[in-house]
């Protein structure tokens, strides 16, 4: 059963991409901004980690620097968006494009760089998948707890209001520009951190490793939301649903690869999966409208009238 044997690996990868998806969740769901810079900052995280570790730096310092490098990328997007007045999607594309060159510079013009296994035992590695799985899960849980705390603070609320209602935010003294920047910075930091984790896990970094990251991130966010959104109301659980979405996504990918799909077709497959899951809530609403029972409409109208 090659598929079952591949499960722990699929879950580990799913968690790593799920952590990336938490970064996407912050911009896409909370700030209501589609930030495409993650395709670049994911690879940036990997590049920084591999280059620093290869140069003999401490692994944990390298992880932290990968996070900071992602934050810097987010800062660029945030400033392009708020201070230069560029629409968020375009600002993200500009950062993503420029990061391709920057990532190549970090990797000394090499398209990919290996992590030497010989002189270091990495906590997250293909050579010990069980250990990797446990550590990745622990990182994900720590991150969820930290973010749960952060979004319960005054600053976290300011970020949520910024994403929910601009006019209300400003009328209540919240600087929406600053808060958008903070959100995008934090998001890209998390994305780069997961990029660092992936390059550690697979043993190399590649300038193209982030290509389509936004789509995978969205897939995880949306799969988690569609499948678990109804049960998981709490914010921490919503983040957990995102990670679970990432895991489900990777299990499905592993399954279709095992069924004989060519690896080159994966990106097409990912795009279709995301398109379908994005459409599900819309289709659901449409169906409801078309086939709704008059009885229910009356009781709903009554409820609205009662509330008024």
Partner 1 sequence: MLEVKGLYKTFNPGSVNEKKALNGIDLTLNDGDFVTVIGGNGAGKSTMLNMIAGVYPVDAGSITIDGIDVTKLPEHKRAKYLGRVFQDPMMGTAADMWLEENLAVANRRGKFRGFKWAISAKERKEFRELLKELDLGLENRMTTKVGLLSGGQRQAVTLLMAVMNHPKLLLLDEHTAALDPKTAANVLALSDKFIEEEHLTALMVTHNMRDAIAHGNRLIMMNEGRIILDVKGEEKQKLTVEELLGEFAKLSGSEFANDRALLAN
Residues that bind partner 1 (CB under 8 A): 150, 152-158, 160-161, 164-165, 167-176, 304, 307-308
> Contact at 8 Å (CB) between 258 and 3?
yes
Please, what is the minimum distance in Å from the beta carbon of residue 163 to partner 1? Answer: 9
When the beta carbons of 138 and 146 are compared against partner 1, the nearer one is 146
> Contact at 8 Å (CB) between 26 and 180?
no
Contact partners, residue 55, CB within 8 Å, separation at least 6:
none
CA distance 13 to 21: 12
When the beta carbons of 132 and 176 are compared against partner 1, the nearer one is 176
CA distance 256 to 202: 20
CA distance 264 to 197: 23
Please, what is the minimum distance in Å from the beta carbon of residue 222 to partner 1? Answer: 17
When the beta carbons of 116 and 172 are compared against partner 1, the nearer one is 172
Which residue(s) pair with 66 in the sheet?
none
Please, what is the minimum distance in Å from the beta carbon of residue 235 to partner 1? Answer: 11
Please, what is the minimum distance in Å from the beta carbon of residue 308 to partner 1? Answer: 4
When the beta carbons of 259 and 308 are compared against partner 1, the nearer one is 308
- Give burial (CB, 10 Å; 0-12/13-18/19+) of 229: middle
Q: Report which of 97, 92, 93, 37 is spatially closest to residue 70, judged by C-alpha positions.
A: 37
Please, what is the minimum distance in Å from the beta carbon of residue 160 to partner 1? Answer: 6
> Contact at 8 Å (CB) between 210 and 69?
no
Please, what is the minimum distance in Å from the beta carbon of residue 30 to partner 1? Answer: 10
Please, what is the minimum distance in Å from the beta carbon of residue 166 to partner 1? Answer: 9
> Contact at 8 Å (CB) between 86 and 94?
yes
When the beta carbons of 174 and 205 are compared against partner 1, the nearer one is 174
CA distance 193 to 190: 5
The terminus-to-terminus CA distance of the chain in angstroms comes to 60
CA distance 211 to 242: 20
When the beta carbons of 32 and 110 are compared against partner 1, the nearer one is 32
When the beta carbons of 114 and 152 are compared against partner 1, the nearer one is 152
Strands (E), 17-128: 112-114
Please, what is the minimum distance in Å from the beta carbon of residue 237 to partner 1? Answer: 15
When the beta carbons of 131 and 175 are compared against partner 1, the nearer one is 175
CA distance 13 to 3: 15
Q: Which residue carries 């995008």 as its tokens? A: 184
């Amino acid at each position: 059963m090659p598929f079952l044997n591949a499960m722990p690996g699929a879950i580990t990868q799913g968690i790593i991409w799920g952590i990336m998806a938490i970064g996407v969740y912050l911009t896409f769901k909370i700030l209501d901004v589609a930030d495409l810079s993650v395709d670049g900052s994911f690879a940036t995280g990997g590049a920084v980690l591999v280059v620093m570790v290869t140069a003999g730096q401490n692994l944990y310092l390298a992880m932290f620097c990968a996070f900071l490098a992602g934050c810097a990328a987010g800062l660029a997007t945030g400033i392009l968006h708020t201070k230069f007045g560029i629409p968020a999607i375009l600002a993200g594309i500009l950062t993503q494009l420029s990061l391709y060159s920057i990532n190549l510079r970090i990797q000394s013009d090499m398209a990919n760089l290996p992590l030497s296994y010989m002189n270091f035992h990495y906590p997250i590695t293909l050579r010990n998948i069980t250990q990797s799985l446990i550590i990745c899960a622990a990182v994900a849980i720590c991150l969820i707890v930290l973010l749960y705390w952060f979004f319960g603070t005054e600053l976290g609320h300011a970020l949520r209001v910024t994403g929910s209602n601009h006019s209300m935010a400003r009328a209540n003294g919240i600087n929406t520009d600053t808060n958008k920047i903070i959100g995008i910075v934090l998001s890209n930091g998390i994305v780069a951190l997961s990029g660092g984790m992936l390059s550690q896990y697979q043993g190399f970094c590649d300038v193209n490793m982030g290509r389509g990251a936004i789509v995978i991130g969205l897939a995880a966010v949306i799969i988690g939301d569609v499948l678990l959104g109804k049960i998981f109301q709490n914010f921490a659980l919503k983040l957990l649903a995102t990670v679970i979405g990432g895991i489900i996504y990777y299990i499905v990918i592993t399954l279709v690869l095992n069924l004989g799909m060519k690896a080159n077709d994966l990106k097409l497959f990912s795009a279709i999966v995301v398109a379908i899951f994005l459409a599900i809530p819309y289709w659901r609403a449409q169906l409801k409208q078309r086939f709704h029972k008059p009885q229910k409409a009356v009781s709903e109208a009554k409820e609205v009238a009662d509330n008024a």
